[in-house]
Structure 1
């Protein structure tokens, strides 16, 4: 199915074909919410995408945990399914020479850049045309003996031509298999990067509907953030706008390279886990509700143990809803409940989906919800706006309830998801080993 004509016109304007005389100091990537690119049908229920993604969220978080730290056999599952049905953010890039436009989901929890390619043995239904590497003069297969092939966790070799094969299997059953190659990527500020290692997917299935592939921006060697580091440094930032229908290139964005810091940016240390080196860990120290620090849970609940690889908090653009260790989540939920009751929010007696704290706000504005602040080591904090944690859920009969949009984690890993990150400029500064958060950053 072809993309809407208005969108194609927009993409033509955002990806020029000429190369700048002087490469810019930063690499700009336009980013769009999937609702802006592929609007939901008229009459679609609020929160519908959210409900469809929660099971995939759970599968993703399970596979972000390295099963070897639990003494289990490590199955051939590297990453988990990305919840594409919940408000995904697409990065727009050009691939090949001449370039073809590709909409790739931004994922800080994985490394490989890949897209569906012709000829395709089995491909899911994407909105645009499949990329055909036979039409690119800069496309090159990578040999099995190459260093790039050896970086793969599960490399394969094509016996007929000696080409390297990759396979990524996700925890929800989604997968991508194909040829490891290099090609040119074109970005919106007239700049291209040659010889980018990427996957050309020939056999793909699962929850990748509408996207052309995935843009891995993890900390590993295959990541696009690592591959462009010689020119732009090991630092990038993004802002995922709350305005999901905006097609403005000035709304959501992804930028590689060091940019001027917003005065409101607060930094905390970037931690490393030797068992999961591709993930971005932060030292989260707790929560506040309505100005009071939440108590009643173990201080170790959110801490990373580098010796075992257990625990910790990961900043992840591929997970929708934030998940915190159960005792920490329950303490936060109970503190919110108490303050919500004082503010006149009527709690519902039943759960909705995975949410166990839902409210009937008829007669009570959502803006009056008790404010939640996330605290990090070094004094950094994220004061969440209500729309980042009080999520609408349609329950029929023209009724919309609001639920505390957080979950309990029982697998040892806490995750700061993209719904809570929306509207913040998030800076991943690997060079200085820190992560920054700035409100109103889009």
Structure 2
């Protein structure tokens, strides 16, 4: 399955991803290992330091893009990989250990990196991973269940390379390579937490990724729920090792430079008693990549308290032969919301109806729906509520989480799609999310400025 986005609507997430994407390496000491008991650990989430003349958050709380930044950009016609946040981890042991920044992607299940030898190399700091220098590097046998079948026969053997093929749910990044087992390390305050036996993919030709790497990103941390992702690996540990089935994050507003955040696992994950939750769909479905994402049952959308009619069916997942389409998923690696076209049209029409009494000018441009910005407009932009199958599970999106300021205009920051809906990072800001993979639920609740992640353990 590949997702087709409406071409004119691609520019907004491309601008957001290109500008918001992390562009600074964080020291190894930015991870936080578990305290006594060793039941959890955390990775530093790295937002972009590039909030400058081209993008900022004003006192009104809206993301502001300078107009020239959008009109001058001529990106390739695909979305950026990973979106707004990345994680820092050390990979390998001995002389082969290096610390890398990996883009976060919750729609795929492969942690992959550029490895030496590299075909068509491009600048990367630190240099690509060298498996030959790491004594803990072990190839995954070719007959493993999550390997792609070899080209030469139907029945793979132990000696065959374990090939992988990783494609984002939105079809934006397509990567191939070979899987191996390796050790990841997360360190802070002179202490170190290691996770051995993590499945990583080595690609020797990542030329298609170079425009997204910014010279810093070494690859992608696939945090999808299926094998062989990091959360799946942590859930398989046996023989006295701690099994981990949950992870959590709270994405701070990029305008809050004094805050940072962590991707937390196991005992580092906070309690969920005060949170609402929704079910993760398709927990017992096929092992295909289309089901690795965290699909949920989105049943309704309200604009300024008024429900959109006949919309529930538009978010259902459908099968056509061997192909699955539609559905709604959460992904902190997608910059902003993606919405299937018929549902987007209903949302757009409702926003226009809500603002019509103001007599505002609709502006044509790179974005599908923009208005000439006025103080009156900012005061009357609607709040949008996403309703999930559970009665109490609602995600309330204030205007600052759905609209952006572009030059002299205010635009609806939703990307039109032909076959998928994704609730992206912009819609998740200042909310705590907990993914309980074993029990198949996503918990969430507002968290003021992600204060619980202000540099200490929860």
Shift of 1:300: 1.2
**Quick one: which of 373, 388, 396 aligns to 1:376?**
388
**Quick one: which of 390, 396, 410 aligns to 1:402?**
410
- Pair 303,7 (structure 1): closer, same or farther in 2 beyond 3 Å: closer
2-side partners of 1:283 and 1:20: how far apart?
A: 34
The number of aligned residues is 389
2-side partners of 1:237 and 1:155: how far apart?
A: 36
- Pair 263,346 (structure 1): closer, same or farther in 2 beyond 3 Å: farther
**Deviations 1:166-188, CA, capped at 9 Å, x for gaps:** 44466867543443211110124
1-side partners of 2:246 and 2:85: how far apart?
A: 20
The equivalent of 2:199 in structure 1 is 197
TM-score, normalization: structure 1? 0.77
**Deviations 1:58-109, CA, capped at 9 Å, x for gaps:** xxxxxxxxxxxxxxxxxxxxxxxx445xx53110111111431110011111
Structure 2 contact 28–187 (Cα < 8 Å) conserved: no
Segments of 4+ moved more than 6 angstroms: 49-54, 156-159, 170-173
The equivalent of 1:209 in structure 2 is 213
CA RMSD, Structure 1 to Structure 2 (Å): 3.4
Moved more, 255-264 or 311-320: 255-264
**Deviations 1:378-433, CA, capped at 9 Å, x for gaps:** 1211111322100122xxxxx3311111133322x322222222232222212222
Q: Secondary structure at the match of 2:443?
A: strand
1-side partners of 2:76 and 2:303: how far apart?
A: 25
1-side partners of 2:76 and 2:361: how far apart?
A: 22
1-side partners of 2:377 and 2:274: how far apart?
A: 27
**Quick one: which of 147, 151, 156 aligns to 1:152?**
147
Structure 1: stretches of 5+ with no match in the other structure: 1-5, 58-81, 394-398
2-side partners of 1:303 and 1:156: how far apart?
A: 35
- Pair 151,49 (structure 1): closer, same or farther in 2 beyond 3 Å: farther
2-side partners of 1:388 and 1:298: how far apart?
A: 21
2-side partners of 1:168 and 1:310: how far apart?
A: 18
The equivalent of 2:110 in structure 1 is 112
Structure 1 contact 156–166 (Cα < 8 Å) conserved: no
2-side partners of 1:175 and 1:281: how far apart?
A: 21
Structure 2: stretches of 5+ with no match in the other structure: 1-22, 56-64, 451-458
**Quick one: which of 124, 127, 137 aligns to 1:126?**
124
**Do structure 1's residue 254 and structure 2's residue 263 form an aligned pair?**
yes
Following superposition of structure 1 onto structure 2, how do residues 306-321 of structure 1 map, counting pairs within 5 Å? Answer: 309-321=324-336
Structure 1 contact 111–219 (Cα < 8 Å) conserved: yes
Structure 1 contact 233–431 (Cα < 8 Å) conserved: no
Shift of 1:20: 7.1
The equivalent of 1:437 in structure 2 is 444
